[in-house]
Amino acid sequence: MKFPEVEITPEDTIQVADKKVAVAFEALGTPLLGFESLNSLVPTSASCHFFQTSFQDRQRVLVVMVAEWDEQTTIGVLNILLNIRIDPDPPGPPPVVHFYSAHPVPAVLRSLFGDSPASNFECQAALVAHFGNDLAPAHSMQLAAAALHLLRHSLGVGISFFASDAELVLARALVRWFGPDDFPEECSPINSVTVLGFLYGEILRARSAHASRWAMIKDTAPWPALIFGPLPEEASDAPAESPTDSPRGPGSPSGGVPQVVFSPIPYVINVYQDGSETSLRDASASLEMKCREMLA
């Protein structure tokens, strides 16, 4: 279905904007059903209303907005649409979201609610990655498992922690599904690269012969990093303070005990930005060599 063109102006009231959109869809023989509570009770209802319709067995959600997209409004609409998209009524594929707005729609909303598998992946990943905020080493396996699930169910990509070609499969999925034709170029899939970065890290841990752990390190913030090697004897529960090399690659923390630091998430970000399908495999080989040199 091609959505009808409707011009919403800053001078329109929300009632006038609603009428413009309703008339356009009625002309197509597609009446709209409003979300009564969302359009009357929530804080966004003074300037933003939500409608649904069905066409070709696919639910469509329309967002009509007349005010500026300030931070509070954007977060409010984001949370509403997350609830609608994750738990559609009636059940079925994720509904297609379309915005009728008097002002440019924020990139974060277009990235989460576009009509592509990559946008659906990003939307689902946001529920666990929280836009990269408050990432904790303890959440690493949960985030990696979420990435495995989303790769299979959103993109049809099967991957295993122990597969010899896991890095290539992961990189190819990023290049294939998060390109300019599948994901808005000016948007950033921060949740997707976060969960995929943790997956990459867990792939490296699964095949490593050395002890390893995730830790927060100042020089790799805000991303948790991997540390390979034994814990320091004098502080067995404390991670190394900082690596000697770049936070984008392997290094050896200070503290007297040989260790190697590796930050997986920036490498995944590089694949998204540069489109290199071999860089994760090359980084894995470099890490393995570094571990052999320092931890033998």
Q: HEC profile for 170-217?
A: HHHHHHHHCCCCCCCCCCCCHHHHHHHHHHHHHHHHHHCCCCEEEECC
* Whether residues 246 and 165 fall in one domain: yes
Separation of alpha carbons 11 and 9, rounded Å: 5
Would you give the DSSP letter of residue 38? Answer: T
What pLDDT, on a 0 to 100 scale, did the predictor assign at position 52?
A: 93
What pLDDT, on a 0 to 100 scale, did the predictor assign at position 85?
A: 81
Among 88, 115, 142, residue at a domain's last position: 115
- Between 44-53, 179-188, 251-260, the lowest mean confidence (pLDDT) is in 251-260
What pLDDT, on a 0 to 100 scale, did the predictor assign at position 44?
A: 93
Among 54, 86, 115, residue at a domain's last position: 115
What pLDDT, on a 0 to 100 scale, did the predictor assign at position 252?
A: 44
Whether 244 has a pLDDT exceeding 80, the answer reads no
What pLDDT, on a 0 to 100 scale, did the predictor assign at position 233?
A: 58
Answer whether residue 4 is part of any domain.
no
* Whether residues 174 and 277 fall in one domain: yes
Whether 46 has a pLDDT exceeding 50, the answer reads yes
* Whether residues 168 and 206 fall in one domain: yes
* Whether residues 210 and 67 fall in one domain: no
Taking only the tens place, the pLDDT of each residue in 273-291 is 999 999 999 999 999 999 9
The CB-side HSE value for 241 (13 A sphere, CA atoms) comes to 4
Answer whether residue 80 is part of any domain.
yes
Q: What integer is the mean pLDDT of 177-198? A: 86
Six-digit token string for 32: 């709209």
Mean pLDDT of the chain: 87
* Whether residues 137 and 47 fall in one domain: no
Q: What integer is the mean pLDDT of 16-42? A: 93
Can you say whether the dihedral through the CA atoms of 243, 221, 130, 191 is positive or negative? negative
Q: What integer is the mean pLDDT of 33-54? A: 93
* Whether residues 260 and 203 fall in one domain: yes
As a dihedral over the C-alpha atoms of residue 211, residue 213, residue 218, residue 221, rounded to 10 degrees, the angle is: 130
Q: What integer is the mean pLDDT of 12-28? A: 95
* Whether residues 70 and 146 fall in one domain: no
What pLDDT, on a 0 to 100 scale, did the predictor assign at position 56?
A: 67
Q: CB under 8 Å to 171, separation ≥6 — which residues? A: 271, 276, 277, 278, 279, 280, 281
Top pLDDT among 236 and 85 is at 85
The CB-side HSE value for 168 (13 A sphere, CA atoms) comes to 4
What pLDDT, on a 0 to 100 scale, did the predictor assign at position 90?
A: 62
Share of the chain above pLDDT 90, in %: 68
Q: Which domain holds residue 33?
A: 14-115
Q: Exposed/middle/buried for 189, CB within 10 Å: 0-12, 13-18, 19+?
A: buried
Q: Which amino acid is at 37?
A: S
Among 115, 137, 162, residue at a domain's last position: 115
Length of the chain: 296
CB of 64 closer than 8 Å to CB of 100: yes
Q: Cis ω on the peptide bond leading into residue 93 (within 30° of 0)?
A: no
Alpha-helical segments (H) within the chain: 14-26, 71-86, 107-112, 117-129, 140-155, 166-177, 190-207, 264-274, 279-295
Cα→Cα distances 253→13, 136, 207, 233, 249, Å:
60, 20, 22, 14, 12
* Whether residues 110 and 150 fall in one domain: no
- Between 67-81, 116-130, 248-262, the lowest mean confidence (pLDDT) is in 248-262
Answer whether residue 213 is part of any domain.
yes
Task: Report how many domains make up the chain.
Answer: 2
